[in-house]
A = this chain, B = another copy of it.
Amino acid sequence: MKLIVQKYGGTSVKDTERIKAVARRVVERAAEGNKVIVVVSAMAGETDKFIKFANEITSRPDEREMDMLLSSGERVTSALMAMAIQALGRKAISFTGRQVGIFTDSSHTKALIDHIEAGRLKSALGHDKIPVVAGFQGINEYSDVTTLGRGGSDTTAVAIAAALKADLCEIYTDVDGVYTTDPRIVPEARKMTRISYDEMLEMASLGAKVLHGRSVEFAKKFNVPLVVRSSYNDSPGTLVTKEDGEMEKVVVTGVAQDKNQARITIMGMPDRPGIAASLFNKIAAANVNVDMIVQNISHDDQATDISFTVSKTDGDKAFEIAQQVSDKLGTSGVNMNPDVAKVSIIGVGMQSHFGVAATMFETLSQAGINIMMISTSEIKISCVVAASQSEQAVRELHTVFELAKE
């Protein structure tokens, strides 16, 4: 008998017909002799509706209140799903994050899980009930509701799987696995059978929306085997797991793009120790995440150009701060380019293969695509290019690294 945690996203439970279809899938899995725990998201559109309400009321909603508001959607789905499973003749019981003992810190709207008590989960399983857990939420030490950030239901599922040492955590979504790149851009993109945690992490952080990054970190940390698959068909999906020798033979696993990028450059900035730190501290204090940072060597040992990227929505805020810093220091000026995109190649095999970066740069160059910024890690290389050229870049890279081939 296996213990399986299944998580169903918003489109998988978007209406009562879908909820009934998912319930049938859950019951089938249980009938095969498995213990099943279900984690559900809010019905598609509900969370956006709540955010719209909040924005109609105030431009700066309090984060504690946002969590009270947003956590309601998952509760609704959990109750409806428990009813749907019961209607098929199996015992089921819905639980809130609090009821299964998901304790988090107090960072409202982006809380981190501290520990899971899971007493009621174990007891329900012991009584042959299928627990249906409202995802995305927990409580803090004051017994206030917290949420885990957008996509947090993935993290709920993985954390429960880790706490109960589940054999498998299945993430059901509206795509049938992880692809070598976005099939809407490259029709010959191939669904991967397996991918390593690290590669999946990079894919997620680089714009592939199939899994919440934090859930992958959690899965890696506790070694929870994850499967990404579709709730609309029986395709086996993609297994996210520890890397093995087999994986390292493949140099590049996938290509990702992220169009939600803006590049800001401060030109002729005094090249003294501490200057960059002071700039990025100010930006961090404004709650803006900086993604790539590139500092060129000084022109004359006195001034340098520094470029960085932020998400497009944070562009204006970051630009304003850069301008203030620039005014104070006396630079040659600040500019922002909101029409950029980040194109990345990912693969654990890169670590042991030479020339991957060179192939990437040459491919882009031959296609007439100018590279504005470069950033590398052990298992990924990212280039910032003009937004208008990013899809072409994805296609060229998908071809040159032969990703359509098994």
Contact = CB atoms under 8 A, between A and B. Distances in A.
Interface of A: 16-17, 19-20, 50, 53-54, 56-58, 61-62, 64-66, 68-69, 71-73, 75-76, 78-80, 82-84, 86-87, 93-94, 96, 98-99, 143-145
A54 B83 contact: yes
How many copies of this chain does the complex contain?
Answer: 2
Nearest to A93: B64
Query: Which 7 residue pairs are nearest across A and B when measured between Cβ atoms?
Result: A69-B79, A68-B79, A16-B56, A58-B87, A72-B72, A65-B79, A65-B82
B69 A72 contact: no
A82 B54 contact: no
Nearest to A75: B72
Contacts of A96: 68, 145
B50 A65 contact: no
A54 B80 contact: yes
9 contacts: A17-B56, A20-B57, A57-B80, A57-B83, A58-B86, A62-B82, A65-B80, A72-B73, A99-B143
A314 B84 CA distance: 25
Contact of A83 (B16, B61, B75, B82): B61
A13 to B, nearest CB: 11
Contact of A76 (B19, B50, B58, B80): B50
A143 B65 CA distance: 22
Contact of A68 (B16, B57, B78): B78
B84 A58 contact: yes
Contacts of A144: 99
A302 to B, nearest CB: 49
Contacts of A62: 82-83, 86
Contacts of A66: 79
B53 A65 contact: no
Q: Which of A79, A82, A84 has the most CB of B within 10 A?
A: A79
Nearest to A95: B68
Contacts of A19: 57
Contacts of A80: 53-54, 57, 65, 69
A76 B72 contact: yes
Contacts of A143: 98-99
A16 B72 CA distance: 17
Nearest to A99: B143
Nearest to A144: B99
A138 to B, nearest CB: 15
A232 to B, nearest CB: 19
Nearest to A66: B79
A57 B99 contact: no
Contacts of A87: 57-58
B53 A16 contact: yes
Contact of A65 (B71, B94, B98): B94
Given A54-B80, A71-B75, 7 more contacts: A16-B57, A19-B57, A57-B83, A57-B87, A58-B86, A58-B87, A64-B94
Contacts of A79: 54, 65-66, 68-69
Nearest to A56: B16
A56 B84 CA distance: 10
Contacts of A82: 62, 65, 68
A297 B86 CA distance: 49
